[in-house]
Amino acid sequence: MSIVGICGVGGRMGHAIARSLDAKGHAIGNSFDIEASPIFGKDPSLVIVDKKSTATVSAITVSPLSSVDCVIDFSSPVATMKILEAAVESGTPLVIATTGIDTAMEKKISDAANHIPIVYATNMSVGVNLLFKLTEMAAGALGGSYDAEVFEAHHRHKKDSPSGTASTLIRSIQEGHEAYRDNKEAYRDRGIIGERSDDEIGVQILRGGDIVGEHTVFFCGDGERIEITHRATDRRIFADGAVRAAEFVVKAEPGLYSMFDVLNIG
SS3 186: strand
Query: According to the model, what pLDDT value does residue 105 have?
Result: 96
Q: Does domain 3-120+235-263 have CATH number 3.30.70.3280?
A: no
- Selecting among 42, 108, 133, 158, the annotated active-site residue is 158
Q: Do domains 3-120+235-263 and 126-232 have the same CATH topology?
A: no
Whole-angstrom Cα distance, residue 244 to residue 265?
A: 14
Strands 147-154 and 200-207: what pairing?
Answer: parallel
Please give the C-alpha separations between residue 28 and each of 18, 24, 59, in angstroms, as whole numbers: 7, 11, 16
Question: pLDDT tens across 31-83, in order?
Answer: 999 999 998 999 988 888 667 888 999 999 999 999 999 999 999 999 999 99
SS3 200: strand
Write down the CATH number for the domain with range 126-232. 3.30.360.10
Report the chain's mean pLDDT, rounded to a whole number. Answer: 93
How large is the average pLDDT for residues 152-161? 91
β partners of residue 94: 71, 118
Domains of the chain by residue range: 3-120+235-263, 126-232
- SS3 of residue 117 by DSSP: strand
Instruction: Give yes or no: 26 in active site.
Output: no
Q: Which amino acid is at 9?
A: V
| Residue 190: pLDDT over 80 | no
Average pLDDT over residues 125-147: 94
Dist CA 1 CA 78 (whole Å): 30
Please tell me the pTM assigned to this model.
Answer: 0.81
β-strands 200-207, 70-73 pairing: unpaired
Check residue 194 and give its pLDDT: 83
pLDDT of residue 210: 93
Band (pLDDT 50/70/90 cuts) for residue 141 is very high
Local structure of 84: helix, strand or coil: helix
Residue 154 among the catalytic residues: yes
SS3 of residue 31 by DSSP: strand
Set 82, 154, 177, 230: catalytic member: 154
